[in-house]
Structure 1
């Protein structure tokens, strides 16, 4: 009897979904107060909190996008995992402990407390929602890509499934529920990405360890077959051939098609394309040259970007400083008992992220050996899902691919849960009802408005994800980091470390940094990454938007000393006084 290779992947998705809902429902029994619901009563231990942060931070870009970028663009893309991890080091040094000592629940709470301004709270609330939605888009987009890759389902279905499960989890138990879910999902993701790679490396080694950076274009180790979802024009730097069952240059073809060096061959959507074993793998004409030397050499232009040096440093800046502006990350530090626990949490997170990020680059590199056809079909983001079944034969490979599918859905669910929790809280407390929270409300009052806020939080990014197919997952997440770095990074760094930051200066920095970065993001998402300096500046805006935001905040503050908050000295003492010193923290 034949075996359905999709069955294992479907079962994996179902099991992850059921486990997520079951663990989330357990958290419902522990969420009895508003403090439980929003910050887990500030009683989460550093180990639990670090696992939960790792669960929500390792998103679609981490699980799928990094490997896809390395496969397509080479070693330049290793800056993504480095930046994702190093961002926590910056967070540890500059923000973690003072932010926890502030006693705030959310970023808008901090903005209001530090600047003593309701307008600052509203501005921060708008940005939290915008950044959260922008970060949610690639999670839902990635869920669609993953489900389509392993089952052939429509791309919208994966996003809809994740949205439904996240709504059930968030509404059910709040932060208590999400903490248990995300901690479980971190260890599931680590297992799902590490175990298959162990078997892939064994097969690779037994085959003589063919190098992903061998001279010339990568050659197919086995017959590589793919069905094109869209029309593509391919070319090659060396002579090769492909077998096509479909339409080539407007005519029907059911045979081998030779591809001369630099020749362009257009293959229509729906065609079945096979690269025979031993032949060089062609590339789309809009992709960079695929020779091993440029793939391996940093800043060689293999990424396809017009100005790779600028793009790389702008990515690094966005990732290093954008982490501290991600609302779903920062809210986790409010669940720690004190500033010391916040610092220990951050150190543990760095170790957990470092362990995970050892693996995605390996998938990208070995995907160049065994899955080069994914570049032809613009499916590089699926290499983690498909590589195990390509390399390990039979049922074993199918089960390993099912395991990576389970890990991918855990990534989508955990990150989306944290984001929806953060965005829904801000929508409910600050924007939908336009009412400032002055005291903890009872659970029934909290839940009435929170359910509608949760539906809004999920619906908007789900619609946006249907139109975000132009960009890779990691690129879309990078844009969210750029907006966060251009807005909340100046507010937090200056608000914590510079006493002279005024209300007017902070508001001006948020407005200018947010407007510039958001405009660049919208243009890039709607038109795609373009060539030339204009395209590079828009696709990676952090290198110019972050300095401008800092300069505006400082300059306007110096020009408007009368808008300095009257109780700033007391606030600064609260932020920087160690926990063992007896000071008044009644606002906690």
Structure 2
């Protein structure tokens, strides 16, 4: 893509984000405006904001990259992301809104009348938020690197700076308008190029891609190795290279790579001819993609287990994602929260119909991304690969703008949720000034970590955050809303054993502590065991401490389940009067 076009597209999105956020700043005056937009966001606007916030870098870039590399098996990701809202709709949306809380720790304390539960919930909110922020910042760095050649950390830093200003200035009221605008921008950024890409593919008479064998270069393709690569070649492969191949310096020389493995030096540029089989990294295993064999063996050594881990994490994790849940507090009432959730299902469904198109076309026209590991870039490079010229540059700029919208909207929501918890539970008082101060550590920690963690696929990293959410807040919300016998010790046990163990597992995975065998699979996909652990610990400990049921449980349960006009709000312990009014 022409760098000028790409930079212009990304800059336009950043400018539009600032301008739309300024609109919210003009009408944000109170603490309630900053935290929950005064609980006055109508369902349709809130659904657009929820969708804009939820469709992150994992949705915009990561799913297409996984489809490119692994095939239709990876459609479990968007299925899980969307189906999670069905669970949210059925069990959580309306009662959670009626709780009148500002944050998940607010709900935990109001329901269980325990400051200890609140503190543990606060730690988990911050942990999940930071874990989710990492892939967003990585995706921003990848996008900026492709557009300008800048180092990967710069994109994350740019997004962090813009979001810090927008969140600190206008709070939830401002972010609502920004995220709603960004949903439609992201949808447009995928839909319009997809139409032209499909027409170009039909005109090219290229075959449908197959994951049963190695892909083929449809056109002459140039690959630049930013780091040393070891490639596996199945049949003699003629190439032209500038740099170092197998220790031999080359300057635009033509050579034939014999069957076997070959070492490509960092900074080497290799041109592959059309019709040639794509060599794969030596440590990559080939596979045939099939719905009958979920998450085939090249992805994980224990594929069926990994599939169930993914399904549980995405289906149950949505209800506990802090940046998603906080948006339901902005609805006027429980009925509006349900209507918001139904609308979100439709908006997400439309978006996810488009993402696989880019993964399939990427298999045909960007297979070189398999060599470098930059499969998340498939969405960004396809317009230029298929169309070229001014049309390719314009559509590429639109896609780049959509990618930046994905980073900005999700990072905004995550920063809001983490800063809200930090402002209430770390800084001394609840106030706008402390909220603004809290935005700095909320975004600074993951931005710093992003400079260290750089090789985890975006969608995979987001899946880890879902696993922690499913293991901690899913049991807390489901049991807290529907089981009156839940006790503070039970909630603490479930949060520590379920959420704490899942958080430890994914931290070890990201750090690369275990890379193979059953232990690796158990740590990389912990939801299969950590979700049952969370539920079991809460239930058994609550039964063992049944005399510790909070005295106000009856009133709290009535507030959660009865229609709003019949409620009489009662402040939770240690909270200001009126805080939990619906």
- Superposed structure 1 runs of 4+ greater than 6 Å apart: none
2:310 matches 1:310: no
C-alpha displacement at 1:242, in angstroms? 3.4
Secondary structure of the equivalent of 1:265?
Answer: strand
Q: 2:514 matched to 1:522? A: no
Contact 2:5 2:394 (8 Å CA) reproduced: yes
Q: Partner of 1:420 in structure 2?
A: 415
Task: Output aligned runs, 1:485-524, within 5 Å.
Answer: 485-524=470-509
Distance 1:523 1:367, change over 3 A: same
Partner of 1:48: 45
| Aligned residue number for residue 12 of structure 2 | 15
Q: Is 1:402 aligned to 2:397, yes or no?
A: yes
State the shift of 1:514 in Å. 2.2
Does residue 583 (structure 1) correspond to residue 567 (structure 2)? The answer is yes
Aligned pairs (5 A) from 1:88-167: 88-167=85-164
- Tell me the CA shift for residue 269 of structure 1: 1.1
For 1:440, the equivalent position in structure 2 comes to: none
Q: Which of 186, 190, 195 pairs up with 2:183?
A: 186
Task: Single out whichever of 457-466 and 208-217 deviates more from structure 2.
Answer: 208-217
Return the offset for 1:300: 6.5
Counterparts of 1:161-560 in structure 2 under 5 Å? Answer: 161-213=158-210, 216-253=213-250, 254-261=252-259, 263-289=260-286, 293-294=288-289, 298-299=293-294, 301=296, 303-433=298-428, 446-527=431-512, 530-560=515-545
Name the SS for the 2:223 alignment partner. strand
3-state SS of 2:218 partner: coil
Range that drifts further, 569-578 or 472-481: 569-578
Q: CA deviation at 1:98?
A: 0.7
Q: Which moved more, 1:296-305 or 1:319-328?
A: 296-305
- 1:43-101 Cα offsets, whole Å, 9 max, x none, are 10000000000111000101000001111111111100000100111100010011011
Structure 2: 5+ residue runs without aligned partners?
Answer: 571-579
The corresponding residue for 1:60 is: 57
Q: CA deviation at 1:454?
A: 0.6
Instruction: Give yes or no for contact 2:31–2:432 (8 Å, CA) kept in 1.
Output: no
Deviations 1:185-221 (A, max 9, x none): 0000000011101000001111224111175321111
State the alpha-carbon separation in 1 of the partners of residues 235 and 71 from structure 2.
Answer: 19
Deviations 1:295-316 (A, max 9, x none): 7864362642111111111011
Which residue of the partner structure matches residue 572 of structure 1?
Answer: 557
Provide the rounded CA distance (Å) in 2 between the counterparts of 1:421 and 1:14: 23
Deviations 1:279-300 (A, max 9, x none): 011111222316xx44786436
Cα deviation for residue 149 of structure 1 reads 1.1
Summarize the Cα distance change of 1:528–1:161 in structure 2 as closer, same or farther, 3 Å threshold: farther
Whether the 8 Å contact between 2:70 and 2:289 is mirrored in structure 1 is: no
Secondary structure (helix, strand or coil) at the match of 2:231 reads strand
**Structure 1: which 5+ residue stretches go unaligned?**
438-445
Residue by residue, what CA displacement relative to the aligned partner does 1:228-270 show, whole Å, maximum 9, x if unpaired? 1111111144543433221122222343443445x11111111
1:133-171 alpha-carbon deviations (Å, 9 max, x no partner):
111111111100000012111111101110010011001
Of stretches 251-260 and 47-56 in structure 1, the one that deviates more from structure 2 is 251-260
3-state SS of paired residue (2:563): coil
- Describe the SS at the equivalent of 1:358: helix
Instruction: Say whether the 8 Å CA contact 2:243–2:267 is kept in structure 1.
Output: yes
- Residues 74 and 302 in structure 1, CA contact (< 8 A), matched pair in contact too: no
Q: Quick one: distance in 1 between partners of 2:350 and 2:95?
A: 27
Alignment match, 1:76? 73
TM-score (norm 1): 0.94
Distance 1:299 1:215 in 2: 14
Distance 2:165 2:89 in 1: 33
Deviations along 1:354-408, one digit per CA (max 9) or x if unpaired, are: 1001111111111000000011111101000001110012110111111100000
Displacement of 1:13 after TM fit?
1.1
Q: 1:296–1:424: structure 2 CA closer, same or farther, 3 Å change rule?
A: same
